[in-house]
A and B are shown apart, each in its own frame.
Chain A
Amino acid sequence: MTYLHDGTLDGFLTCIYAHYHSGKADNIHAEKGYGYPLLEEWKVVETVDWQARKVYDALEERFPRQVFLDVYHTFLSNREDKDGILLRYLVLAFKVGADIDRLHGDPVVHQVKKTGRQVAFERHRFLGLLRFAEMEGKFLLARFAPDADILELVAGHFADRLGQERFIIEDTKRKKAVVGMDGKWVLADWEGKDWNTSKEEEGMQGLWKAYFHAVAIEGRKNPKLQRQFVPLKYRSMMLEFSEDKKRDTGKKS
Chain B
Amino acid sequence: MDKSTLDKLQILADGAKYDVSCASSGVEKKNQGGLGNAAACGICHTWSSDGRCVSLLKTLVSNDCVFDCAYCASRSGNDIPRASFTAEEIVELTIGFYRRNYIEGLFLSSAIERSPNHTMEKIVRILQLLREREKFFGYIHVKAIPGADPQLIHQAGLLADRMSVNLELPTRESLALLAPQKKPEKLYLPMEQMAREIRQSKEEQKSFRHAPKFVPGGQSTQMIVGATRDSDRTILKATQALYRRFQMKRVYFSAYMPVNGGSLLPSLQTAPPLLREHRLYQADWLLRFYGFTAEEILPEGTPDLDLEYDPKIHWAFRHLHEFPVEVNKADYKTLLRVPGIGPTSAGRIVRQRGVRKVGQEDLQRMGVALKRARHFLTCGGKYLGDGELTVDAVKEVLHPLPRFSQVGLFDPGQGLHREVGGFP
Can you name the residue of chain A whose Cβ is closest to the Cβ of B102? A208
Across the interface, A214 reaches (CB within 8 A) one of B17, B18, B96, B100, namely: B17
Residues A214 and B272 in contact in the complex (CB < 8 Å), given A134-B100, A204-B97, A225-B411: no
A228 touching B411 by the CB < 8 A rule? yes
**A222–B274 Cα gap in the complex (Å)?**
12
Q: Of A4-12, A41-49, A156-164, which binds chain B?
A: A156-164
B49 touching A163 by the CB < 8 A rule? no
Contacts of A130 in B (CB 8 A): 101
Residues A215 and B413 in contact in the complex (CB < 8 Å), given A106-B362, A140-B99, A229-B44: no
Query: Is B1 interfacial (CB-CB < 8 Å)?
Result: no
A131 touching B352 by the CB < 8 A rule? no
Across the interface, B6 reaches (CB within 8 A) one of A124, A133, A207, namely: A207
Query: Is B39 interfacial (CB-CB < 8 Å)?
Result: yes
Chain A: interface residue total (CB-CB under 8 A): 54
B43 touching A128 by the CB < 8 A rule? yes
Contacts of A214 in B (CB 8 A): 9-10, 13-14, 17
A129 touching B9 by the CB < 8 A rule? no
CB distance from A136 to the nearest CB of B (A): 15
Query: Is B389 interfacial (CB-CB < 8 Å)?
Result: no
Query: Is B332 interfacial (CB-CB < 8 Å)?
Result: no
CB distance from B380 to the nearest CB of A (A): 13
A238 touching B46 by the CB < 8 A rule? yes
Query: Is B169 interfacial (CB-CB < 8 Å)?
Result: no
B31 touching A217 by the CB < 8 A rule? no
Can you name the residue of chain A whose Cβ is closest to the Cβ of B358? A105
Using a CB–CB distance below 8 Å, which chain A residues touch chain B? Answer: 99, 102-107, 110, 124, 127-134, 140, 142, 157-158, 160-165, 183, 200, 204, 206-208, 210-212, 214-226, 228-230, 238, 240
Subset of 25 A-B contacts with CB under 8 Å? A102-B351, A105-B352, A105-B365, A128-B46, A128-B55, A131-B102, A161-B31, A163-B33, A163-B34, A204-B97, A206-B6, A211-B57, A214-B14, A215-B17, A219-B257, A220-B274, A222-B407, A224-B407, A225-B47, A225-B51, A225-B412, A225-B413, A226-B51, A238-B46, A240-B46
* Additional A-B contact list (7), CB under 8 Å, known A132-B100, A220-B51: A140-B100, A210-B10, A211-B97, A216-B50, A221-B50, A229-B53, A230-B46
